[in-house]
Structure 1
Amino acid sequence: MSGRGDALLAHASDAARVRALTTAPDVIALRVERVRAQVDALLWAGIVLGLAFTMVNVQTFAAAGAPQFSPGWWVAWLLDPMVSLVLLAVLRAEQVTARYQVALPAWARRTKWLTFAATYVMNTWTSWGLDDAPFSPAGVVLHSVPPLVVFATAETGPVLRDRLTEAVHRAVATTPAAPIEPTEPEAVVHAPVEQPVHEPAPAAHPRTTRTGGRKKAAARPRRLLADYVRAATEALDNARTAGAQVEVTPAWCRQVSGCSAGTS
């Protein structure tokens, strides 16, 4: 049974260390950052492909029947990139501000919606039967899907990034306490018994207290990671109960719990 017990103790120690590391705020934040990078890559791929699909129809709309390779035909290719670059600039700014939960001004959203509306109208103009063209329901559906997908993706992206940031904040505030370095039980070693050596008693210190000797200072209790997390959680709960807006930062954790910079 001793061999099985030692194996279970070692397994429990490894499990405690893995749990402590996987629930650490820094590890959670790293995982969220990896998910954020994947989400951003997929969103940008969909947006770029959707805008590239609309380029040909916008050029046809802008050329207005100009002969192929004529100056008007070449200039028509500039219309779609002009609108798309402005749209991409706004989306890039939203990508950064949403990560730090900062709202853009109203004109940013107006510019985004204006570029979307312009792209949609120019892309589906002939499919609606305008400009002496026959009405084509299939063309309306075909040329409406890419702009609408781009629009939905651009509106959803900032919300997803904001929620990912909120997930990191909640993980920091509600991470369960667990020891970072679990200690294993020490083996009892039976040392050989040695005969005591009688040495002369040291001379008494000349400065003594009235009671006949110095009192040994009480040892300061050791604080674990769980104690720091508990103190920070209680301070955060009290602040939220009082209606205060608290930003959980390492400096704030050091202030309310008294932990070191590395622990915070």
Structure 2
Amino acid sequence: MNTWTSFMAGEAAAIVLHSVPPLVVFVAVEAVTDLRDKLTDAVLVAGGERRVVRPVESGRRKLFADYLAEARAAWAPGVEITPAWVRQETGCSRGLSPRLARALRAEVANG
């Protein structure tokens, strides 16, 4: 659109004119999800069938201490504590494994 050309020329009416279509598209994109869900519900109600909405159950989040306890239980003397070993034993992410390896090495070193 010619919004910037109109801005440089100082034509307020042209700026508004050229800004309306992008705003309409933006609002339509934001509203389409809710509209789709409401239309689906309306069609199902009209057809006599109701959609069952099941809440998503989220499990308990695994904490750093949980991962550390798991790694501690898997460790045995003679095992080299590396981030790769920690990932293999606990299933933690690549970002967390170096911290876990450092913490476990510190525990082992301190006895």
**Smaller-chain TM-score bracket:** 0.3 to 0.5
**Structure exhibiting the larger radius of gyration computed from Cα positions:** 1
**Alignment TM-score, normalising by the size of structure 2:** 0.37
Relative contact order: is structure 1 or structure 2 higher (C-alpha 8 Å, sep ≥ 6)? Answer: 1
